[in-house]
A = this chain, B = another copy of it.
Amino acid sequence: MLQLSKKVEYGLIALRHMAMNPRGQVFAAKEIAVKFDISYELLAKVLQKLTKAGVVISTQGMHGGYSLAKKPNELRVSSIISVIEEERPTIAECYAEGGEDCSIFNACTIRKPLGKMQHNLNLLLENTTLEQIV
């Protein structure tokens, strides 16, 4: 209930690890996976998404790996989640994309009132940056 997914957790762990080391340093996915006892394949996929989104820079080939593309204070948890999950974090289906498709959309009476909670959650996630997680 309301939990972050493992993918997001792994992403945050990896990003934090990068943020704690000198800027520009490169880390292999395997290296991070071993260090934190995490599934390498899962972490790799997460890092690939973060690469596509420009959160992280990848260098292929031997001695390759990932490094932070932005300053930790520029990275919001909200956008990290959005990138990894490929959708904004929402409290209910109706606040996600295509939310009108919710089976009870029309009869639903709590959508509007819950909007406040959604808004506050947004603020919470937007105001938390990687810097604060270091």
Contacts and interface: CB of A to CB of B under 8 A. Distances in A.
Q: Which interface residue of A3, A91, A103, A128 has the most chain B CB atoms within 10 A?
A: A3
20 contacts: A1-B5, A1-B85, A1-B89, A1-B90, A2-B89, A2-B90, A2-B91, A2-B121, A3-B91, A3-B92, A4-B92, A12-B110, A16-B110, A17-B109, A36-B109, A38-B104, A116-B128, A117-B124, A117-B125, A121-B121
Contact of A4 (B9, B91, B103, B107): B91
Interface of A: 1-5, 8-9, 12-13, 16-17, 35-38, 77, 81, 85, 87, 89-93, 103-104, 107-110, 113-114, 116-117, 120-121, 124-125, 128, 132-134
A92 B1 CA distance: 9
A8 to B, nearest CB: 8
Given A109-B16, A110-B12, A134-B113, A104 B1 contact: no
The list of the 6 closest CB pairs from A to B, nearest first, reads A113-B133, A2-B89, A36-B107, A37-B107, A1-B85, A1-B89
Nearest to A34: B107
A39 to B, nearest CB: 10
A108 B13 contact: yes
